[in-house]
Each structure stands twice: as C-alpha cells, then as structure tokens.
Amino acid sequence: MKKIINHPNSVVTELLIGMAKAHPDLKYTDELEVISRKVKSKKVGIVSGGGSGHEPAHAGYVGKGMLDAAVAGNVFSSPSPDRIIKGIEEANSGEGVLLVIKNYSGDIMNFEMAKDMAEMDDIRVESVVVKDDVAVPDSTYSTGRRGIAGTVFVHKIAGAKAEAGANLDQVKAAAEKAIANIRSMGMAMNSCTLPAVGKPGFVLGENEIEIGMGIHGEPGVERTSVKTAAETADILLSKVLADYDYSGSEVAVLINGLGATPLMELYILNNEVEKILTEKNIKVYKTFVGNYMTSLDMSGCSVTLMKLDEELKELLDAPCDTPALKVL
C-alpha cells in the first residue's frame, strides 16, 4: 500500500485538521470530527455527513450557500450520534436544522437517533434521505436505493434555499423536490484500498469493469469487459433514463469521478453523455465534471441527472463558496 499518511488510525482527524488549516472560514471540532462554518448566519442550518473516504464529500461542501456543518465517520463507516449531535449544534442558529442523509442503514439509524436527541434539547430538526442510485433496488448496505453523487445536488439546492431565508419546512420541500428529480448510475474499473486494510477490497480482471458498483465497493449489477466512452455513456444513461422520464426537460448533469479517474476521461465521457441527451431531446442547462463524491482511490465514474424547473434552476445558480464547489 502506497499512501501519503502517517497512521491508518489517524487519517480522518488529520485530513479534517488539514482542511480547516487550508480554509480559514471553516472550524474543526476536535475528537468529534465535525467541520463547520466559523460564522453562523441566522437561517436554517444544513448538516450532512457519512463515512470518510468520499472526499471532497462531505466537509468540502461546508460554506456559504451549501452546508453549515459536515460530520465525518471513520473510513466508509457512519458517524456516531454524538458526532452528529455536535454537527447539529454547530449548524443551529435557532431556525431549525435539516439533515441530508444518504440511504445507508447505519447513516439513517445514527442520524435519526441524533435528531431525536436534538429535539429533546428543543432544537427543531427535519431530515431527508437521498436515494439516487438506480443500479439496484436493494442492497445489503441500504434499505432500498443507495445515496451516491446526486447528494451533492441536494446539498446545493437545500443550502441555497436556506441562504435565501426560507423556513425549515420550505427548505425541506426544496430538498425533497431535488431528490425526486435526481437519478445516478456508476461503474468501477478497479477497487479502492482502505488505509486500515492495506489491500484492495475486491479484484477486477485486467479487462473487467463492474456496472452499478456502489461508492463503498458494494456489488453492482453486471461484471463485463472494458467499454469505450460511448458505450459506457450509453450503458449508464440507459439505466437512468429507463428509471425516470427526462424527455423534453432541462437537466443538470454531474459527471463524477471516483477518485482515480483522470479528468481527461471524465470530459470524454461528458461529450458522449451530452450527445445522447441531445438525441433524446433533453436539454443540458448546466454541467459539472470532476471528483465530487469519490471512493478513495477507486477508478471509475458515475453520471447524475437532475430534472430542473424554474425554482431548481434558480437555486442551482445561487452563489455558494465552499472548498469543493463555488458558484459566484
């Protein structure tokens, strides 16, 4: 294993300390592994989080117009309720807090437990669950569909609505609208290596890829031979478009890398995705290409579409300033 680390057991703490030092607007809470905005605004607070190893998610989206706090678990492990409670406290300014949760059993259990505890302290908390992965209806890691890269769009929409001064019910409604209109599908070309394990979690052959693999290495729907960019775009989009009717609509597109895929390849994939969308009379309003929700050093990608109406377009275009995403 070749990694730029000190010790496998300290990677989460040290990455968050390093992030806070690089971005002076952020604050790190020692031992509870929370990154939050140093300056609170009088508005609804937005909190998300999950296992580490998906950087820049989730701490990279803390800042004006997106999250107010992000809670980190150990690598690929849900954060504990005490960490989540601290995230809620850091985000709370008296207007209530929305939790954006990815659809994994551990995340749902711990975030909901923290929600209950916060409400006992008279903090009003609501939650939404992102389940954008169309690869499989159920998995051993989640109840129903997994939450993957589409979560970033939910952060953006909820954060913009909160920044505009909406109340907690309105912020939750905007997040739920985004969730209803988001679908994603991914593929992997090799495994990732967990620092504490020191070897890949699974093995793909030299000429093999796995379609529909999750961001923690969960099983996909098909193991097949390496495809061209055009074939990959067709496979991923066919699943997305079969699941939700985007025809005749405007969409935001997210071409997401899983950590080890060069931008060259992601842009080539985007070219093929947009060709297909044009052929199907789906208008691309805005495109994001890069590493937004990764899986350590896994090589692969995912494609996300979000169907837009005027409200979602306005919120997508609203200013934000975070380490991983800026709209100015």
Give the active site residues. 54, 216
User: How many whole angstroms separate alpha carbon 313 and alpha carbon 25?
Assistant: 27
Q: What is the rounded (10 degree) CA torsion for 237, 308, 108, 243?
A: -30
The position carrying tokens 């992965």 is 133
User: How many whole angstroms separate alpha carbon 182 and alpha carbon 180?
Assistant: 6
Q: What is the rounded (10 degree) CA torsion for 189, 193, 197, 199?
A: 60
* Residue 26 · residue 35 · CB < 8 Å: yes
Q: How many CB atoms lie within 10 A of CB 223?
A: 15
User: How many whole angstroms separate alpha carbon 232 and alpha carbon 51?
Assistant: 28
* Residue 33 · residue 72 · CB < 8 Å: yes
Q: How many CB atoms lie within 10 A of CB 48?
A: 33
- Distances 212 to 55, 236, 293 between C-alpha atoms, Å: 20, 8, 15
User: How many whole angstroms separate alpha carbon 177 and alpha carbon 318?
Assistant: 17
* Residue 47 · residue 172 · CB < 8 Å: no
